[in-house]
């Protein structure tokens, strides 16, 4: 029971106690059994009921004001966070966000040291394929930390870590060429978003583990690498 309910219950108990005492006094002949007694009892009752009503209204009003204050605070916080995030995105480039990723997800920010790396190519591909600049940047940072000569033990190559077969399928002749690599990676992510109706989590899962595994497991594959990959980019724990 909260403090408001406790106070109201206490007031009601006091009122009932007064009424019982008034009835007992009337039976003992302490009060006059006449209109004056009736008027006095009625007045006492009315006064007590009014007090209860006032208490109910006062604490209901307090609860209402507290609720409104909380909502206002949360609204202000959300607005501040969104504005800060949007301003950051605008500074990174004026690309496109076809799938409203930034409205639906909170993509993890990148380090300031990587902020301006390949930004012209990234912005160009953002406009061409509809992926927000900050998402492309974060994928590149997680994949290769913006090292265009990076190669993984599994054979993935370049900025967006394309497998040789994938790179070939997207017409990439040099996987270490920043423009070719970024365009192929962004195009693949764009196709994934289309396939999964704008679901970024499934799109990233398919990018990391392959769409075949997403289909096989009916969602995010239970691979530690894929689960960590999604969390690094979106902050979402799958």
- Cβ contact 116:140 at 8 Å: no
Q: Taking a C-beta distance cutoff of 8 angstroms, is the pair 125, 178 a contact?
A: no
Helices assigned H by DSSP within 112-177: 119-129, 133-144, 164-169
Q: Which of 6, 14, 49, 143 is catalytic?
A: 143
φ, ψ of residue 57 in degrees (nearest 5): -65, -40
Strand partners, 157: 151, 162
Residue 172 · residue 184 · CB < 8 Å:
yes
From the list 79, 190, 177, the residue with the least C-alpha distance to 127 is 190
Sign of CA dihedral 167, 173, 177, 179: negative
DSSP letter at 173 equals S
92 is catalytic: no
SS3 (DSSP) at 157: strand
> What does DSSP assign to residue 162?
B
Which amino acids are annotated catalytic?
Answer: 143
């Amino acid at each position: 029971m909260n403090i408001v309910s406790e106070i109201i219950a206490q007031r009601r108990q006091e009122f009932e106690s007064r009424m019982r005492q008034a009835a007992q006094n009337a039976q003992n002949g302490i009060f006059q059994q006449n209109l004056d007694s009736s008027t006095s009892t009625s007045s006492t009752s009315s006064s007590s009921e009014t007090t209860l009503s006032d208490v109910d209204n006062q604490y209901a009003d307090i609860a209402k004001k507290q609720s409104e204050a909380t909502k206002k605070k949360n609204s202000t916080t959300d607005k501040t966070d969104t504005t800060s995030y949007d301003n950051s995105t605008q500074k990174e480039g004026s690309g496109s966000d076809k799938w409203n990723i930034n409205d639906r997800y909170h993509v993890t920010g990148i380090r300031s040291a990587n902020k301006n790396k390949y930004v012209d190519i990234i912005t160009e591909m953002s406009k061409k394929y509809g992926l927000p600049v900050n998402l492309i940047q974060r994928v590149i940072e997680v994949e290769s930390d913006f090292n265009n000569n990076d190669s993984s033990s599994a054979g993935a190559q370049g900025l967006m870590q394309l497998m040789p077969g994938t790179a070939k399928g997207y017409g990439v002749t040099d996987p270490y060429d920043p423009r070719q690599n970024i365009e192929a990676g962004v195009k693949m992510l764009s196709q994934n978003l289309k396939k999964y109706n704008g679901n970024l989590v499934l799109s990233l899962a398919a990018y990391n583990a392959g769409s075949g595994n997403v289909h096989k497991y009916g969602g995010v594959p239970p691979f530690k690498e894929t689960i960590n990959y999604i969390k690094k980019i979106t902050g979402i724990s799958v």
